[in-house]
């Protein structure tokens, strides 16, 4: 980071981040990396994980990496417990996620995509956050950051599973926060708009209020560190949320059905 910041991580040595091989998770790993911090970084691609790990080690952090597929919730839980038993996790950040919009000319996403996305975006992070919250509550200390999306505020016909999985995650996050606050465990729901990462780069067309990933990581980390319960940014998406709530649902749906976005296959950059 170019500007020195108040370091609230000095007492939180172990930070586990999912989705650390790319985008926001990788930028968060770099943000937190410094001497005295141990990072456990999860992702699928070993090559990209190693890139994040090397950058973090250069900044003085010690790093473990794990290549893992989060459609396997039971494996993820076992690995989480192993990592926490080795060194108590102080901050858990659940950034991994997949975004998919329905294929061109299809009415909805495929059932296969729906199942995978439900695991990666909802079931596995929920199981991990629950396990970690119980462990942190017993220690009376911990932070959990959960990556939702402003897509959860809207009935998106193009992305029914993405918006639905993030809406479920959002409710879970604030409910867990209500349960955990008395035990000094703070749960932060992060609901961003467009952030400049490989995920958003797969989408065709202009992305309104696009935020650079380093700026987003700073904002997210500060919110998690300070114990904030919900972060929605850019703020304009609070307005679109209110607008959809104010409109009669059939009218809102008529407008939302007009959205037409194309998505490039994974691995290909967008326009």
Across 222-268, the runs of DSSP E, i.e. the strands, are: 230-233
Residue 147 CB, shortest distance to ligand NAP, in Å, is 4
Question: Is residue 226 a contact residue for ligand NAP (CB under 6 A)?
Answer: no
Question: Is residue 173 a contact residue for ligand NAP (CB under 6 A)?
Answer: no
CB 136 within 8 Å of CB 149: no
By rule CB under 6 A, what string of x and - marks binding of each residue 101-130 to ligand NAP? Answer: -------------------x----------
Length reported for the chain: 271
Nearer to ligand NAP, 185 or 189 (CB): 189
Paired tokens of 68: 């893992």
Question: Is residue 19 a contact residue for ligand NAP (CB under 6 A)?
Answer: yes
- Give residues with Cβ within 8 angstroms of 240, minimum separation 6: 150, 153, 154
Residue 199 CB, shortest distance to ligand NAP, in Å, is 3
CB 182 within 8 Å of CB 221: no
By rule CB under 6 A, what string of x and - marks binding of each residue 55-94 to ligand NAP? Answer: -------------xxxx-----------------------
CB atoms within 10 A of CB 44: 15
Question: Is residue 32 a contact residue for ligand NAP (CB under 6 A)?
Answer: no
DSSP line for 179-206: HHGGGTEEEEEEEES-BSSHHHHTB-S-
C-alpha dihedral (175, 227, 24, 43), degrees to nearest 10: -70
Question: Is residue 99 a contact residue for ligand NAP (CB under 6 A)?
Answer: yes
Residue 182 CB, shortest distance to ligand NAP, in Å, is 28
By rule CB under 6 A, what string of x and - marks binding of each residue 143-162 to ligand NAP? Answer: ----x-x-------------
Question: Is residue 12 a contact residue for ligand NAP (CB under 6 A)?
Answer: no
């Amino acid at each position: 980071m170019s500007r020195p910041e108040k370091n609230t991580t000095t007492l939180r040595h172990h930070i586990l981040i999912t989705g650390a091989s790319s985008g926001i998770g990788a930028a968060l790993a770099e943000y937190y990396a410094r001497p005295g911090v141990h990072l456990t970084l999860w992702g699928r691609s070993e090559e990209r994980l190693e890139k994040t790990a090397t950058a973090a080690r250069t900044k003085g952090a010690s790093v473990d990496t794990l290549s893992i597929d989060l459609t396997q919730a039971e494996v993820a839980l076992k690995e989480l417990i192993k990592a926490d038993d080795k060194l108590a996790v102080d901050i858990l950040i659940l950034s991994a996620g997949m975004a998919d919009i329905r294929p061109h000319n299809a009415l909805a996403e495929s059932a296969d995509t729906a199942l995978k996305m439900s695991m990666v975006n909802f079931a596995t992070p929920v199981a991990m956050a629950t396990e970690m919250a119980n462990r942190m509550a017993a220690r009376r200390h911990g932070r959990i950051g959960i990556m939702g999306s402003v897509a959860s505020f809207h009935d998106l016909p193009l992305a029914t599973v993405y918006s639905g999985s993030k809406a479920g995650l959002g409710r879970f996050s604030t409910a867990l926060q209500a349960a955990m606050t008395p035990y000094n465990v703070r749960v932060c729901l992060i609901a961003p708009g467009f952030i400049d990462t490989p995920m958003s780069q797969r989408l065709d067309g202009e992305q309104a209020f696009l935020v650079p990933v380093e700026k987003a990581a700073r904002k997210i980390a500060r919110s998690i560190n300070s114990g904030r319960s919900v972060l929605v940014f850019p703020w304009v998406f609070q307005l679109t949320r209110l607008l959809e709530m104010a409109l009669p649902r059939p009218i809102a749906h008529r407008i939302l059905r007009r959205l037409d976005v194309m998505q490039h296959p994974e691995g290909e950059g967008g326009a």
